[in-house]
Amino acid sequence: MSAAGHSHDHAHDHAHGHSCKAEPAAILARAEELCRERAVQFTALRREVLDAVVASEKPPGAYDIAERLSRPGRRVAPVSVYRALDFLMELGLVHRIASRNAFVPCAHAHGASENVVFLICRTCGGIDETTSPEVESGLGKTLKRAGFTPAHSILEVEGDCGACRDKARRA
C-alpha cells in the first residue's frame, strides 16, 4: 500500500482511490518551511531521521532508524533518534503508531484538524493515513455526552488494505 516508497518521483503516478502519501520532497520542503517559521533548527540528524521514516518500506521503530543511520564509523544511538522523532512529532511531520511502536510520516499537510485515522494492514504491514469528518463529528457528540474534554486522540484500525485483499483474491 502507500507505505511502499516510490523510487521514482513524478508528482502523481498513483491511480488508486484511497488516500495517498505525500512525496518525500514535499515533506522535506514542508519541514524546512515549518522550521523557518518557528525559528527552530532543521539539523542534519533531524533531516536524516525524517528521511529514514519516509523512505522505509514499512513504518520503522526507533531502533530500526538508529540502525539504518548507523554505519561503520558512525553510530547513531536510539536516544538521539527518539529526540529527533519527538521534535518531528512536535512539528506534526511524523506520527507515532501506538499499537505498533512505529513511526510514519504525516501524509497530509494538516496544519489544522489533527484528527486522523490510521489504517494498518496486517498483511503487508503498511500504514495508511486518512481523515474522517464523520468520525470527528460523531466523536465530538459522544465526548460531549460523556462530559469529557478531549486534548487529543488516536484512532488506529487494523485490517486488510485493498491491495492486499485483491492480491489474495487473485491467488
Partner DNA sequence: GCCGGAAGTGATACACTGTAACAAAGCCGC
Partner DNA sequence: GCGGCTTTGTTACAGTGTATCACTTCCGGC
Using rule CB under 8 A, residue 18 touches its own copies: yes
**Contacts (CB under 7 A) with DNA, residues 84-123:** 84, 87, 96, 101
Q: Which residue has the cell 501506538?
A: 98
Strand partners, 103: 96
Nearer to its own copies, 35 or 116 (CB): 116
Going by C-alpha positions, the residue among 125, 150, 116 that lies closest to residue 106 is 116
Nearer to DNA, 9 or 57 (CB): 57
Interatomic CA distance for residues 114 and 118, integer angstroms:
12
Nearer to DNA, 79 or 143 (CB): 79
Nearer to DNA, 80 or 123 (CB): 80
**Contacts (CB under 8 A) with its own copies, residues 122-151:** 122, 128, 130, 132, 134-139, 141-143, 145-151
Q: Are strands 94-97 and 102-105 parallel, antiparallel or unpaired?
A: antiparallel
Cell of 21: 502519501
Binds DNA by CB under 7 A, chosen from 1, 50, 62, 91: 62
| Distance, CA of 1 to chain centre | 13
Q: Which residue has the cell 521514516?
A: 53
Going by C-alpha positions, the residue among 5, 50, 22, 8 that lies closest to residue 129 is 22
* Amino acid at position 61, single letter: G
Compute the C-alpha angle 135/140/146, nearest 5°: 125
* Per-residue binder mask for its own copies (CB under 8 A), 44-83, x = binder: ----------------------------------------
Using rule CB under 8 A, residue 157 touches its own copies: yes
Using rule CB under 8 A, residue 158 touches its own copies: yes
- First and final CA of the chain: distance in angstroms? 17
Nearer to its own copies, 76 or 120 (CB): 120
Binds DNA by CB under 7 A, chosen from 79, 143, 157, 168: 79
Q: Contact residues for DNA (CB under 7 A)?
A: 40-41, 43-46, 61-64, 75-80, 82-84, 87, 96, 101
